[in-house]
């Protein structure tokens, strides 16, 4: 991912406008939780807001997967000279309303000089806790050189209207998604990275890569892969699936060897998956968090 400061960037705020104008209370809750998190970041500071809004087992990448509450609790409880702010551009939730994501642009500003230190996009996965509160369970992001082009919030399009009932225990469903993730890795090695992706991404997929604006849609991603040929290997670390069996996430390790690079790029991926109308798992968002050279 990035440096110590980058670690901060992964959360969100928001305002909920549903794609179809249908009421979706769970989506509204996730976006409002993001908004509250961002307000707290500005008002209370990075350390205290991250401790407050992350789940007890929530992680971000520092640069390796790290328990966020534990890591931030060890930091000095003193005012920070930096202001981290963000807002959501899009969000989505499972049909069961227990798992969702938000993503959008962030800025990190030195409050003493009012200088922009960093800007980029965060990607946060949220999970509803037993007490009904939404907390961040996985957080990552990318740094960009350009200002975000998107200006308005738009809820993600639904891939289907069907409720997928569980065909086994939650653990079996989780293993099903892990299997799909591993099959992607196998296909990437045997048939090529581009073929593996385009067997699984949706037409409106969001792809995040460091130092560039997000790629929105399969066509934009296809053009990127055509200009950035690489051989990719990956291995999932964990997965989680919503109770409705239509929405889940995986994260794990990846390594990409680009045709024009001497050394491979290593890091971690986070993918959000949804079932399409036929029940097939599809990638709807992916972020690669590149490890700095000293951490590889």
Q: Given this model, what pLDDT does residue 2 score?
A: 37
Does residue 154 sit within a domain? no
Overall pTM > 0.85: yes
CATH of the domain at 236: 3.10.450.50
Residues 86 and 188 in one domain: no
Given a contact cutoff of 8 angstroms between Cβ atoms, the answer to whether 273 and 138 are in contact is no
Handedness of CA 108, 267, 261, 105 (dihedral sign): negative
Q: Given this model, what pLDDT does residue 9 score?
A: 36
Give per-residue pLDDT as tens, 202-257.
999 999 999 999 999 999 999 999 999 999 999 999 999 999 999 999 999 999 99
Q: Given this model, what pLDDT does residue 22 score?
A: 64
User: Which domain, by its residues, includes 62?
Assistant: 6-143
Last residue within a domain, chosen from 103, 127, 143 = 143
Last residue within a domain, chosen from 143, 160, 180 = 143
Handedness of CA 129, 133, 139, 142 (dihedral sign): positive
Quick one: pLDDT band at residue 62, thresholds 50, 70, 90? very high
Residues 19 and 106 in one domain: yes
**For the chain, percent of residues with pLDDT exceeding 70:** 91
Distance CA 63, CA 170 (A): 30
Residues 15 and 107 in one domain: yes
Does residue 92 sit within a domain? yes
Q: Is the pLDDT of residue 38 over 60?
A: yes
Query: What value does the mean pLDDT of the chain take?
Result: 90
Which residues have CB under 8 Å from 237's CB, separation 6+?
A: 65, 251, 252, 253
Does residue 164 sit within a domain? no
What three-state secondary structure class fits 183?
A: helix
Tally of structural domains, the chain: 2
Looking at the DSSP bridge assignments, the partners of residue 60 are: 66
Does residue 279 sit within a domain? yes
**For the chain, percent of residues with pLDDT exceeding 90:** 79
Whether residue 150 is preceded by a cis peptide bond, meaning omega within 30 degrees of 0, is no
Residues 199 and 242 in one domain: yes
Does residue 270 sit within a domain? yes
Residues 218 and 280 in one domain: yes
Quick one: pLDDT band at residue 150, thresholds 50, 70, 90? confident
Q: Is the pLDDT of residue 39 over 60?
A: yes
Does residue 161 sit within a domain? no
Quick one: pLDDT band at residue 149, thresholds 50, 70, 90? confident
Average pLDDT over residues 143-151: 90
* Token pair 């109308």 in the structure block, residue: 277
Least confident of 14-23, 52-61, 260-269: 14-23
Distance CA 130, CA 121 (A): 29
Residues 98 and 184 in one domain: no
Does residue 149 sit within a domain? no
Residues 177 and 237 in one domain: yes
Given a contact cutoff of 8 angstroms between Cβ atoms, the answer to whether 138 and 113 are in contact is no
Residues 12 and 139 in one domain: yes
Does residue 265 sit within a domain? yes
Residues 137 and 253 in one domain: no
């Amino acid at each position: 991912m990035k440096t110590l400061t980058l670690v901060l960037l992964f959360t969100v705020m928001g305002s909920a406008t549903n794609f179809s104008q249908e009421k979706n209370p769970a989506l509204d809750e996730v976006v409002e939780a993001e908004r509250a998190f961002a307000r707290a970041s500005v008002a209370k500071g990075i350390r205290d807001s991250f401790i407050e809004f992350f789940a007890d087992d929530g992680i971000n990448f520092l640069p390796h997967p790290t328990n966020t509450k534990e890591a931030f609790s060890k930091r000095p409880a003193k005012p920070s000279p930096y202001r981290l702010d963000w807002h959501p551009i899009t969000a989505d939730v499972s049909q069961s309303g227990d798992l969702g994501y938000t993503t959008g642009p962030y800025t990190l500003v030195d409050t003493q000089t009012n200088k922009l230190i960093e800007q980029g996009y965060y990607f946060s996965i949220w999970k509803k806790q037993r007490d009904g509160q939404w907390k961040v369970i996985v957080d990552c992001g990318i740094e960009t050189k350009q200002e975000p082009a998107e200006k308005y919030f738009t809820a993600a399009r639904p891939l289907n209207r069907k409720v997928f009932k569980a065909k086994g225990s939650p653990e079996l469903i989780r293993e099903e998604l892990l299997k799909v993730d591993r099959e992607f890795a196998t296909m990437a090695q045997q048939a090529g990275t581009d073929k593996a992706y385009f067997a699984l991404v949706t037409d409106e997929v969001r792809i995040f890569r460091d130092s560039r604006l997000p790629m929105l849609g399969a066509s934009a991603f296809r053009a990127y892969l055509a200009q950035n040929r690489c051989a990719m290997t990956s291995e999932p670390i964990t997965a989680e699936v919503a109770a409705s069996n239509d929405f889940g996430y995986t994260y794990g390790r990846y390594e990409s060897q680009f045709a024009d690079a001497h050394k491979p790029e290593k890091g971690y991926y986070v993918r959000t998956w949804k079932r399409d109308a036929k029940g097939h798992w599809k990638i709807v968002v992916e972020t690669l968090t590149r490890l700095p050279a000293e951490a590889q």
